A and B are shown apart, each in its own frame.
Chain A
Amino acid sequence: EVQLVQSGAEVKKPGESLKISCKGSGYRFTSYWIGWVRQMPGKGLEWMGIIYPGDSDTRYSPSFQGQVTISADKSTSTVYLQWSSLKASDTAIYYCASPGGYSYGSVAFEIWGQGTMVIVSS
């Protein structure tokens, strides 16, 4: 079964760093783009960026460029989303998602992780 499994919920303080993960299984990890989507409390979906694990080609939404870093580890079939200094406004659910066999440009993300809740509070 093709799936993305994300790391567990996090509670952090403002200014702390954080790295959350998304592990792919059931398919050739280096063949599918994997992206990240933010959903703030009670709000809609926002595209953050995407990485192609095969060559680490990474693209960011202008809204998130410089705010987060997306990386991949082929040896563990895992994609990461990290912050160097969290803010309260980073409180949200973060989903990883992949278009699978569809093209990245199709925006047809057929595989989703279960989501990781990140709470940033002093």
Chain B
Amino acid sequence: QSVVTQSPSASGTPGQRVTISCSGSSSNIGSNPVTWYQQLPGAAPKLLIYGNTQRPSGVPDRFSGSRSGTSASLGISGLQSEDEAEYYCAAWDDSLSGPVFGGGTKLTVL
């Protein structure tokens, strides 16, 4: 069981905005920046958000991140069919002295 938890599934229709949440503790999300990854079916994960809110070059601004206390959220606006994927949050954990991943949220575009 992950020390960082995510809802297993989320869904939305094209054009809609969806939010994916991630909950941790004071030793990870509460004290370290959060990262989000997108994993399309059959592909390697792709860095989507780092430093809680920053987008790497090439990531559309439809994707946004936020953090509050020991929780974080990934927002996807203008939902598109190609956004259907698994989304993972991650953060450094001070107790484990290493990264921890959330269990993942499968996003379905209806």
Contacts and interface: CB of A to CB of B under 8 A. Distances in A.
Most buried by A among B47, B86, B92, B102: B47
Given A45-B104, A47-B98, A106 B33 contact: yes
Interface in B73-110: 86, 88, 90-92, 96-104
Interface residues of A, number: 23
A62 B56 CA distance: 30
Interface string A80-122: 0000000000000001010000100111111011110000000
Contacts of A31: none
A37 B86 CA distance: 16
A106 B50 contact: yes
Contacts of B104: 44-45
A97 B37 CA distance: 12
A67 interface: no
A61 interface: yes
A32 to B, nearest CB: 14
A44 B51 contact: no
B103 A102 contact: no
A107 B51 CA distance: 9
The 9 closest A-B pairs by CB, nearest first: A108-B50, A112-B44, A44-B104, A45-B101, A107-B99, A47-B99, A107-B35, A110-B47, A107-B90
Interface of A: 37, 44-47, 49-50, 59, 61-62, 95, 97, 102, 105-110, 112-115
Interface of B: 2, 32-33, 35, 37, 39, 44-47, 50-51, 56, 86, 88, 90-92, 96-104
